[in-house]
């Protein structure tokens, strides 16, 4: 596949708007090119620009080696050993710069090192899907396409670069990413890729649990969590990564969990770049299950019993999974779940314990109550009540 002449697309073909490109990224590209290096915007940022979206991240690939990048930019630090990268800091904002990588795309060994430098073409051939394999040079407005990604993007087609079985074995997280793009964009998956996913799904257990969890948390933040979890369930990946949680997605209460995820998607879309706290996202997966267990008990459980139930559930579903959630998320998730039964008690009380609005972290369970109200509109009145009390207590 190496040696293929790339297709070049000009501004007449793509109409990329430069006002959507981060000024810091343009500054880095210009600095690298003026120093005599080849440098392009790559990956998801180019894909998003072509879809008329403002990218969240602007990744740059270059012929400059990490040490050469550091020599050009004083605000640069080098990170990683297995995957050497340059991070150029502009305040809290970071532009990530990677040197073009090489390697044999026909090798089905799990990728554990990635510091073999190569050409732009070799670098593209190591990427996951054709829609993420485009390079863009803002200096002359050219799209450089070695893999047919431009046409696939126009056709809403999701296609692996190379043999999907080999690519999934090299990096099993690509299977999660394939479902991610399907959920986010509604692109069509190729039959060859679907067959490879079904044949390789158990390879996912060779991946880093932390990396897998980050992909899943990002999808919970993406505004496409509901379709993503439906796809994870349909293709058997949820069974492998979260087997106990997956069982609840297959019972009679599954649609309640999906409805909660739909609410998460609505709130994340409304908030733009400020996504819901990750503990709220975790609680959205568990609350329908906890509430089912609470409602099944007769007589209704007291708060001590509810605390025990929530602790057990968080431990079973979020800690014992292949990718277990960090301690901070688990603790905050448990607090959110328990507080729902103080904000909406099981039995009518003569008076609400209004002092709970002064508890540290009260904002999280209050936001979660709003999330519940999206599916049960009668709760909006209760949410507004607690919101007003919170404002009065914390002016």
| Residue numbers annotated as active site | 57, 59, 128
- Among residues 41, 73, 39, the alpha carbon closest in space to that of 57 is found at 41
DSSP code for 319: I
Determine how β-strand 85-90 pairs with β-strand 93-99.
antiparallel
Answer yes or no: are the C-beta atoms of 213 and 278 closer than 8 Å.
no
Interatomic CA distance for residues 132 and 159, integer angstroms:
10
Interatomic CA distance for residues 213 and 235, integer angstroms:
18
- Among residues 344, 224, 230, the alpha carbon closest in space to that of 291 is found at 344
The pair of structure tokens assigned to 79 is: 């990170």
Interatomic CA distance for residues 132 and 394, integer angstroms:
46
Interatomic CA distance for residues 147 and 236, integer angstroms:
29
Ramachandran region, residue 76 (left: φ > 0; alpha: ψ -120 to 50; beta: rest):
beta
- Among residues 249, 212, 230, 233, the alpha carbon closest in space to that of 325 is found at 212
Interatomic CA distance for residues 2 and 54, integer angstroms:
32
Interatomic CA distance for residues 258 and 245, integer angstroms:
13
At 101 the three-state DSSP class reads strand
């Amino acid at each position: 596949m190496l040696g293929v002449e790339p297709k070049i697309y000009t501004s007449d073909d793509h109409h990329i708007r430069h006002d959507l490109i981060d000024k810091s990224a343009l500054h880095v590209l210009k600095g690298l090119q003026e120093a005599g290096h080849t440098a392009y915007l790559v990956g998801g940022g180019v894909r998003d620009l072509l879809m008329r979206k403002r990218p969240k991240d602007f990744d740059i690939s270059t012929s400059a080696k990490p040490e050469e990048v550091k020599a050009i930019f004083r605000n640069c630090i080098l990170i990683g050993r297995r995957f050497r990268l340059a991070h150029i800091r502009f305040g809290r904002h970071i532009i990530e710069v990677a040197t073009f990588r090489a390697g044999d795309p026909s090798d089905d060994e799990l990728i554990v090192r990635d510091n073999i430098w190569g050409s732009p073409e070799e670098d593209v051939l190591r990427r996951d899907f054709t829609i993420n394999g485009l390079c863009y040079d803002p200096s002359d407005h050219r799209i450089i396409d070695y893999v047919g990604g431009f046409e696939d993007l126009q056709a809403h087609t999701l296609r692996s670069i190379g043999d999907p079985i080999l690519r999934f074995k090299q990096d099993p997280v690509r299977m999660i990413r394939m479902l991610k793009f399907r959920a986010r964009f509604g692109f069509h998956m190729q039959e060859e890729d679907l067959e490879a996913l079904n044949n390789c799904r158990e390879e996912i257990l060779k991946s880093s649990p932390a990396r897998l969890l980050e992909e899943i948390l990002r999808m919970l933040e993406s505004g496409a969590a509901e379709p993503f979890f439906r796809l994870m369930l349909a293709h058997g990946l949820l069974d492998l990564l979260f087997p106990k949680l997956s069982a609840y997605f297959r019972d009679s209460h599954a649609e309640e969990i999906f409805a909660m995820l739909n609410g998460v998607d609505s709130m994340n879309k409304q908030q733009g770049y400020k996504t819901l706290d990750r503990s709220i996202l975790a609680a959205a997966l568990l609350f329908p299950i906890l509430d089912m267990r609470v409602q099944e008990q007769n007589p209704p459980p007291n708060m001590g019993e509810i605390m025990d139930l929530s602790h057990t559930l968080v431990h079973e579903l979020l800690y014992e999974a292949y990718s277990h959630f960090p301690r901070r998320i688990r603790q905050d998730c448990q607090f959110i779940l328990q507080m729902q039964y103080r904000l909406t008690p099981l039995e009518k009380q003569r008076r609400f314990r209004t002092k709970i609005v002064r508890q540290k972290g009260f904002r999280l369970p209050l936001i979660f109550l709003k999330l519940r109200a999206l599916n049960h509109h009668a709760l909006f009145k209760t949410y507004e009540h607690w919101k007003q009390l919170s404002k009065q207590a914390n002016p």
